[in-house]
Structure 1
């Protein structure tokens, strides 16, 4: 029997007022798998990531990480929203890297990385510092640990953000267009850090417009449009031989 997926989404829906941002989104991510979400702006990719990280509450279907239902508990045949404390506990299973780096400007790179483990996980400071230095070294920033964000390039700040997310020891790493705010010459260093993560066996769900990265690193690509999953398949196959006309039109426009 195959191992159960780390992430399971079943018919997930989400509305903002009268706008239906997600509709019947069903997909799975296995442990150690890298899945890339692609699609036009407004297709629901970021909203789906925010539902997985519980920054938004989905209003239909279900999301499970490691078999645990996210955001709700079942009692008396009905689902009841979890209190914020339980949501915070569940959120620790995911680490999210945003488009913007969101580093604390008054803290050094090292201080940014240790903040979560010390405050949220109650780890001893010496242990958190040792792991933060290891993670900063892993993303190529060991010699920048005492620098403040203002003294770092955009690519360096995003790599600090990756180290900060990893410091919480998440089961699933979420990336929301992590290179979109970077100058073109800085994109490669962030994608390089993400490649290293993938090679180490990290489970990753990546919203990206970098189709070369998706082809090289992604095990699977999921194409979304209008809040729905249009097509999903192995990266190389989907990019070279898409089955759906909407996917073909999108890739033709993007790839020329």
Structure 2
């Protein structure tokens, strides 16, 4: 794998019974790049993210992150599933921001942010707290460190979730429709944090319906439908001059 490629997916397949959720999906994402995945609901976008992060086991193909095959070990020509402990180890360097925040309700914002560094990375609590406060300051929530999720708006909760993902020092952060559960007036505060993160050089794969964000921030865009990547390329080209009629139809429908 080229040293510039951080994520490489080849022919990834995922089935749920008779339903094919992913049908030989292939994609490359370079280090420091923002890739936005767009497409209609049910097209396999979130499933693909979950396969990268090992929340779903793929049925075929392979995904490499940092030159490491995720979810499997290779012996000769054979692949073997790795253990849950090994999966947890691989997952440490892949952050994930979910649609519904997924914060621990009984923990403060700061406690949510330091949970992973302390209990997964083994950082001393004091050191993790200092870094956690810095992460919260970076997302504009320095004054909310001791607030519980129920005391925060949806946008603030999502920013805590981004700080939590950053706290693990990941090589890659996956965003699964991070603004879709937010009231419209709260969307921009989350997108602004994501723009800042992108500007800092973080590699990001973002499933989103926010085409303005994709146009302004993404390096590349992939359009998915029915478990396949229909079109992929530079964001400016895919969003302004798509080669696929189906991509053009989708973009027009979202903008109309």
User: Per the shorter chain, which TM-score range?
Assistant: over 0.9
Aligned to 1:217: 217
* Cα distance in 1, alignment partners of residues 188 and 76 from structure 2: 51
Does 2:187 align with 1:187?
yes
**Shift, 1:4, TM fit:** 3.5
Give the TM-score normalised by the residue count of structure 2.
Answer: 0.98
Gaps of 5+ in 2: none
Write the mapping of 1:193-212 to structure 2, written as runs, cut at 5 A.
193-212=193-212
* Cα distance in 2, alignment partners of residues 121 and 7 from structure 1: 22
Aligned to 1:87: 87
Aligned to 2:14: 14
Does 2:245 align with 1:233?
no
Aligned to 2:123: 123
Aligned to 1:102: 102
Aligned to 1:43: 43
CA offsets, 1:78-130, max 9 Å, x none? 11100111111001110000000111111110111011111111100011001
* Cα distance in 1, alignment partners of residues 9 and 68 from structure 2: 12
**Shift, 1:240, TM fit:** 1.1
Give the TM-score normalised by the residue count of structure 1.
Answer: 0.98
State how many pairs are aligned: 256
**Displaced runs of 4+ in structure 1, greater than 2 A?**
1-4
* Cα distance in 1, alignment partners of residues 4 and 133 from structure 2: 33
Aligned to 1:168: 168
**Shift, 1:3, TM fit:** 3.4
Secondary structure of the residue that 1:43 maps to in structure 2?
A: coil
* Cα distance in 2, alignment partners of residues 4 and 182 from structure 1: 34
Report the aligned-residue RMSD. 1.1
